[in-house]
């Protein structure tokens, strides 16, 4: 039997990158998936995530256009999950990232980062939890970052938002545990995605070699590296795991 057979997952930021990897892994493990994003097509190219799921697996999937900065919009995602039987798994993955000079960050830039990376997680978790309470439980997985653990002077607003996601996850695990809802955070390291600004300069070969030299496993991560942990946390393999931060970074933070 597949690890997620008979379950329904909602994944924000599910069209591309880590979210796409998680959505595909969930379908491969037997879950039906509601793919939520502001864009339908993957940034990396290829078929839309929900189309790939329907064509390549035996599972059902749908796409919901969702702006995570609008709390009311999450109801459309929850209703879409109801069409499959109701949400069992919520993955709050949508986020943005950009390098910054702390002394130059504007209020608008700060607020945009917080609205997407933190507010979106907060109200995504809230919308899912309300439905999960009615269903008797579920699993909420919030995608943070290693920058939410140790901070980074080059990404101050991003680090602040992701640190808040970490402690929010702990708070929700404490508050929702009695309702049968588990809440955990995943902290990816350097993962091969297109999360950065579209006009960002491509990483040079020299920069990539420098990056790999800081990672004990000697390589950049891929979305499926994170997806495997997300499957564990959503499945009965992690049924006694809540209020945890799981780092997926090839060992990068282990020696910092």
Q: Which of 158, 161, 169, 245 is catalytic?
A: 158
Cβ-proximal residues to 223 (8 Å cutoff; 6+ apart), any chain: 17, 18, 20, 21, 22, 191, 192, 193
Q: Facing residues of 10 across strands?
A: 34, 90
Strands ordered across the beta sheet of 245-248: 61-65, 32-37, 8-12, 89-92, 138-143, 181-188, 245-248
* Residue 243 dihedral angles phi and psi, to the nearest 5°: 70, 30
- Token pair of 228 as six digits: 């495997």
To the query of whether residue 145 is one of the catalytic residues in this protein, the response is yes
Catalytic residue among 15, 145, 169, 235: 145
| CB-CB neighbours of 46 under 10 Å | 12
Query: How many other C-beta atoms lie within 10 A of the C-beta of residue 205?
Result: 8
Residues 6 or more apart from 127 whose CB is under 8 A from it? 71, 74, 75, 77, 78
Strand partners of residue 138 = 181
Please tell me which residue in 161, 162, 235, 245 is annotated as part of the active site: 162
Among 109, 121, 186, residue whose Cα is nearest residue 155: 109
Would residue 52 show up in a list of annotated catalytic residues for this protein? no
- Give bridge partners of residue 132 from the DSSP assignment: none
Q: What is the CA radius of gyration of the chain?
A: 17
**Upper half-sphere CA count for residue 105 (Cβ side, 13 Å):** 18
- Rounded Cα–Cα distance for residues 122 and 126 (Å): 6
* Catalytic annotation, residues: 145, 158, 162
């Amino acid at each position: 039997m597949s690890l997620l057979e008979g379950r329904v997952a909602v994944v924000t930021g599910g069209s591309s990158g880590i979210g796409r990897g998680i959505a595909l892994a969930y379908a491969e493990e037997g879950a039906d998936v509601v793919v939520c994003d502001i864009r339908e097509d993957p940034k990396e190219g290829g078929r839309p995530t929900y189309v790939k799921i329907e064509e390549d697996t035996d599972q059902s999937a749908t796409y919901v256009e969702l702006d995570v900065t609008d709390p009311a919009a999450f109801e459309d995602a929850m209703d879409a999950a109801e069409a499959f039987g109701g949400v069992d798994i919520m993955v709050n993955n949508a986020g943005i990232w950009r390098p910054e000079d702390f002394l130059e960050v504007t209020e608008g830039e700060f607020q945009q980062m917080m609205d997407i990376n933190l507010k979106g997680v907060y109200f995504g978790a809230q919308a899912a939890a309300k439905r999960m309470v009615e269903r008797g439980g579920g699993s909420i997985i919030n995608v943070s970052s290693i920058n939410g653990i140790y901070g980074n002077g080059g990404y101050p607003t991003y680090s602040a938002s992701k640190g808040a996601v970490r402690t929010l996850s702990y708070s929700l695990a404490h508050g929702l545990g009695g309702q049968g809802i588990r809440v955990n955070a995943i902290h990816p390291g350097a993962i091969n995605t297109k999360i950065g600004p579209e006009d960002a300069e491509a990483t040079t070969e020299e920069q990539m070699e420098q990056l790999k030299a800081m990672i004990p496993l000697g390589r950049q991560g891929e979305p499926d590296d994170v997806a495997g942990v997300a499957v564990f946390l959503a499945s009965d393999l992690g049924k006694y795991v809540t209020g945890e931060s799981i780092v997926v970074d090839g060992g990068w933070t282990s020696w910092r």
